[in-house]
Amino acid sequence: MESEQVTPRFDADVAVIGLGAVGSSAAWRLATRGLDVLGFEQFEPGHALGGSTGATRLFRVACLEHPGLTPIARRARDLWRELEASSSQALFHETGGIMIGPPGSRIIEGTLRAADAHGLPIEQLDADEVARRFPAHARHNPGDVGVWDPEAGIVRPEAAIVAAVDAARAAGARIRTGTRVTAIEPGDAGVTVRTADAEFRVRHVAVTSGPWISRLVPDLPLTPHRVVMTWFRARDGRDANLEVLPVFIRSVPGHDTWIWGHGAMPGPDGFDAKVGPEFDGPFTPDDPDAIDREIHPDETDEIRDLVAATFPDLDPAPSGVTTCIMTHTPDGQFVVGPTAHPRVVVGGGCSGHSFKHASALGELVAQSVAGEQPFTDAAFLDPRRFAR
Ligand SMILES: Cc1cc2nc3c(=O)[nH]c(=O)nc-3n(C[C@H](O)[C@H](O)[C@H](O)COP(=O)(O)OP(=O)(O)OC[C@H]3O[C@@H](n4cnc5c(N)ncnc54)[C@H](O)[C@@H]3O)c2cc1C
């Protein structure tokens, strides 16, 4: 008897699991390639329970974390601009950014390394020039220097995620919100994706579930960790808007640590000035389903001290506080690309600096699924580096 060839039937070319920062863009970039995309989000796009809440994220092109991030930031900016056009709203505000620290410190050296590698139009400033051009930063440690990145700014996370999901839908993606994926079962001929009440057969999966990635891809060294985010107002008669206080990462007078943040934006979609501490490991793992959302009385003591030491024009009592989840990798770089299983691609492990890049990380996820050459060398983000 002649053998009968069975053609597997698929419900979609690719399932994107988790439509937060990276997944919303991955779904969009996959759908624009003409692939049949099924997107799953356990909550609603733009929700406050993952890693992408808090109204703003810093954007920098001279990325102190790795010079390979510069082309990713620039590609991301182009894609944020595309989403601004498709959603008719401002998602990216270019403010420029000032990095301040001792010569040779990670802030200064890392920023200069990225600038050198890509011929970026940064400016190097001595302490007096920093104080003259940015009076809000007049307090500094003796010998500190500055680097101005004119391409820095802020991105609006919640609105950007909603815009990317809308763009994915417009390009044909089928989106299921309020639907948690409970398991993925990859095999040679495809992947089974299970939810509480259904199962789907797909050719590939992109797991972009942020703090929850390890639930579906357990062999990656990811550590979700609860953090607190804080906002501050200017003292009476003083100003702390984005012109006065553009994006910054800087040392703290009399302290051996950094802070990061930006000034306030007035208006209905506005926000107060944001200042946060350097998030320095080791990080204890937290269950993303059981994050303590309460703010405890002593939790803002450290940031109050750091703000008081640095910015005389800010009231160091926070005007707003919320919780968020960071997902750390051992080397502080993301995990974007194929896993040990060729049908499973991941995009996450965002280590506190990925939002700015998220639209381009979605593009890299889409390129990995589609078998295309990545638009830039992303080997330093390869999830398989930890198994080697
Ligand atoms: C306090 C703080 C400050 C930061 N500051 C900056 C900054 O200034 N600049 C910067 O670039 N980055 C910054 N980051 C990092 C950046 O915001 C995050 O790394 C990034 O937003 C995480 O994106 P993600 O797509 O990996 O995760 P998320 O955006 O959390 O998305 C994951 C999504 O998957 C969904 N999901 C999970 N499991 C499932 C499942 N099984 N089924 C269906 N859906 C699922 C979740 O509900 C969620 O929507 C900061 C992070 C924090 C916490």
Residues 157-210: tens digit of each pLDDT:
999 999 999 999 999 999 999 999 999 999 999 999 999 999 999 999 999 999
Atom of ligand 1 nearest to the CA of 161: 29
CATH class of 12-53+158-220+331-386: alpha beta
C-alpha of residue 21 to centroid of ligand 1, in Å: 6
C-alpha of residue 55 to centroid of ligand 1, in Å: 13
C-alpha of residue 161 to centroid of ligand 1, in Å: 10
Residues with pLDDT less than 50, the chain: 1-3
Tokens matching residue 373: 């050459």
Nearest CA to ligand 1 atom 41: 181
Ligand 1, residues 194, 354, 357, 363: which to mutate, most atoms within 8 A of Cβ?
Answer: 354
Sign of CA dihedral 22, 23, 26, 28: negative
63: left (phi over 0), alpha (psi -120 to 50) or beta: beta
Q: Average pLDDT over the chain, rounded to whole?
A: 96
Q: What is the pLDDT of residue 387?
A: 86
Q: What is the pLDDT of residue 86?
A: 98
Q: What is the pLDDT of residue 7?
A: 59
C-alpha of residue 309 to centroid of ligand 1, in Å: 30
Q: What is the pLDDT of residue 281?
A: 83
Q: What is the pLDDT of residue 74?
A: 98
C-alpha of residue 50 to centroid of ligand 1, in Å: 5
Nearest CA to ligand 1 atom 16: 355
Q: Provide CB contacts within 8 A for 314, sequence distance 6+.
A: 232, 233, 234, 235, 238, 240, 273, 275, 307
Q: What is the pLDDT of residue 5?
A: 56
Of residues 367, 383, 339, 355, the one with CA closest to residue 59: 355
Q: What is the pLDDT of residue 155?
A: 98
How far apart CA 186 and CA 184 sit, in angstroms, is: 6
C-alpha of residue 68 to centroid of ligand 1, in Å: 21
- Yes or no: say if 168 and 39 are a contact pair by the CB < 8 Å rule: yes
Of residues 2, 32, 53, 87, the one with CA closest to residue 363: 32
- The CATH homologous superfamily to which domain 94-154+223-328 belongs is D-Amino Acid Oxidase, subunit A, domain 2 (3.30.9.10)
Residues with CB under 6 A from ligand 1: 17-23, 40-43, 50-52, 57-58, 180-181, 208-212, 227, 229, 276, 324, 326, 348, 350, 352-356
Q: What is the pLDDT of residue 2?
A: 46
Phi then psi for residue 76, to 5 deg, are -60, -45
Pairing of strands 223-232, 199-207: unpaired
C-alpha of residue 355 to centroid of ligand 1, in Å: 7
Ligand 1, residues 63, 355, 356, 363: which to mutate, most atoms within 8 A of Cβ?
Answer: 355
- Yes or no: say if 210 and 20 are a contact pair by the CB < 8 Å rule: yes
C-alpha of residue 305 to centroid of ligand 1, in Å: 28
Hey, where are the domains in the chain?
A: 12-53+158-220+331-386, 94-154+223-328
Nearest CA to ligand 1 atom 24: 210
HSE value, Cβ hemisphere, 13 Å, CA-based, for 79? 30
Nearest CA to ligand 1 atom 15: 352
C-alpha of residue 173 to centroid of ligand 1, in Å: 21
